[in-house]
Amino acid sequence: MAAATAILAGVLAFSPASGDAAMDIARGFVRDCPRRDAGTPGGHSAARWIFSKANRLGCDAQIDRFTGETPDGVKRFANVRVELPSPDPSAPWIILSSHFDTKAGLPAQFTGANDGASSTALLLELAHLLRRAGRSKEFSIEIAWFDGEECAGARYAANDGLHGSRHEAARFKKLGRKVAAMLNFDMIGDRDLSISVPLNSTESLRKTVLAAAEKEGLSATVSLSSEIVRDDHESFLLAGFPAADLIDFEFGSAPGLNDWWHTVHDNIDNVSAESLAKAGRLAIAILRELGYKR
Ligand SMILES: [Zn+2]
């Protein structure tokens, strides 16, 4: 029995119970940190919340505070990360990421439950499972929660939006780290889940995501899109790293519509444990497709 238990403890899987756990985390995050606009006290307390939660889940988290120019002047940002380095120092990195900030200037009922909280919660549960599975010989893994993804204006610019990912891509570059894949998750808690991988993602990774979805029986939920989506993966692409975005950009009142995005309808009632479980299964299937062995 001891041997069987040891093997089971090392096997990475995202069960329906993991989906429920991620849903509980999302609920708690939205309750405690309903507004997380970058550069505000709410944003900084959200970073501390993620840091504490990750530590309680047995992960050794770090907060990385930095400043950046924005259209409203210099702002202070805070990324959170958990690093799970491989025992092999030459192993390349896989980065699993999400933003946690909320879009500023929206009505109080908007809590970014899907846009920000759902992927934040998914990655907390994944960090917990990956840490428990043990270090991987094949890859070093980083789980990253980015601040400042949302732009203040209507459009992204060099000084507006994607602040956290730009900072982290520069850090990876400075450290000379080799990156096998950066996989960014956004809006994946949508009750009616339909994940797509936008065109501006590394082509080989788009194929990897699709193959992983097929093996995991999620072909009906995952597709490749011909659209360009501005999101945190772009910062890594610009830094020369392979990167892909996994986003459900059809968050709305009917299939195909995105009319709930950045509205009061983005609340916890429109997020589900089942969708979080699907996204979690997909994340692990992608890791395996890339060569992760546990
Ligand atoms: Zn958003």
Cα 151 to ligand 1 centroid, rounded to whole Å: 8
Cα 60 to ligand 1 centroid, rounded to whole Å: 28
Cα 181 to ligand 1 centroid, rounded to whole Å: 23
Cα 231 to ligand 1 centroid, rounded to whole Å: 9
Please list all protein residues whose beta carbon sits less than 5 angstroms from ligand 1, which is an ion.
103, 115
pLDDT at 7 over 50: no
pLDDT at 158 over 70: yes
Least Cα distance to 192 among 278, 106, 119 occurs for: 278
What pLDDT, on a 0 to 100 scale, did the predictor assign at position 251? 95
Least Cα distance to 116 among 38, 31, 186 occurs for: 186
Cα 39 to ligand 1 centroid, rounded to whole Å: 16
What pLDDT, on a 0 to 100 scale, did the predictor assign at position 213? 98
**Residue 149 amino acid letter:** E
Cα 115 to ligand 1 centroid, rounded to whole Å: 5
How many Cβ atoms sit within 10 Å of the Cβ of residue 102? 29
> Nearest 5°: CA angle at 222, between 227 and 100?
75
Q: Which domains does the chain have, with CATH numbers?
A: 14-149+156-290 (3.40.630.10)
Measure the CA–CA gap between 119 and 133, rounded to whole angstroms: 20
**pLDDT level of residue 10 (50, 70, 90 thresholds):** low
Cα 266 to ligand 1 centroid, rounded to whole Å: 10
For residue range 269-286, list pLDDT tens digits in order: 999 999 999 999 999 999
What pLDDT, on a 0 to 100 scale, did the predictor assign at position 1? 45
Extract the runs of DSSP E, i.e. beta strands, from the chain.
Answer: 61-70, 73-84, 93-99, 140-146, 179-186, 195-197, 222-224, 243-247
For residue range 203-260, list pLDDT tens digits in order: 999 999 999 999 999 999 999 999 999 999 999 999 999 999 999 999 999 999 999 9
Q: Name the pTM for this structure.
A: 0.95
Phi and psi torsions of 105, nearest 5°: 85, 15
What's the length of the chain?
Answer: 294
Cα 101 to ligand 1 centroid, rounded to whole Å: 8
pLDDT at 189 over 90: yes
What pLDDT, on a 0 to 100 scale, did the predictor assign at position 155? 83
For residue range 71-123, list pLDDT tens digits in order: 989 999 999 999 999 999 999 999 999 999 999 999 989 999 999 999 999 99
